[in-house]
Structure 1
């Protein structure tokens, strides 16, 4: 059996919360032009490639994003 304890590995104390900066950071990861969307586009396009070089290139770019 396992136990889930919700706590951060390193304690954080936020003195001045900035909602605009938080929104910008979240948009970079999960928005339509964010890193995650770009990565998934590259990784899904590799399945339609014919040559092994193209597959390897798209795989490398997608994992780097």
Structure 2
């Protein structure tokens, strides 16, 4: 991570995302929880728990 770069993390219930998609005619097609890239934790050890508890969520949906 570059010096001065800040990644804010905001916790929201998973139901908020899924229900919003459903209410707008979308169907969940894929869910990904990407791990930190190789070498990231050696540069930013304060994110060590991110290897056990994903910090990112990617939802892919299709419109029905």
* Bin of the TM-score, shorter chain as denominator length: under 0.3
Whose helix fraction is larger, Structure 1's or Structure 2's? 1
Whose strand fraction is larger, Structure 1's or Structure 2's? 2
Higher relative contact order at CA 8 Å, sep ≥6: structure 1 or structure 2?
Answer: 2
Please identify the structure whose Cα radius of gyration is greater: 1
Instruction: Give TM-score scaled by structure 1 length.
Output: 0.27
Instruction: Give TM-score scaled by structure 2 length.
Output: 0.27
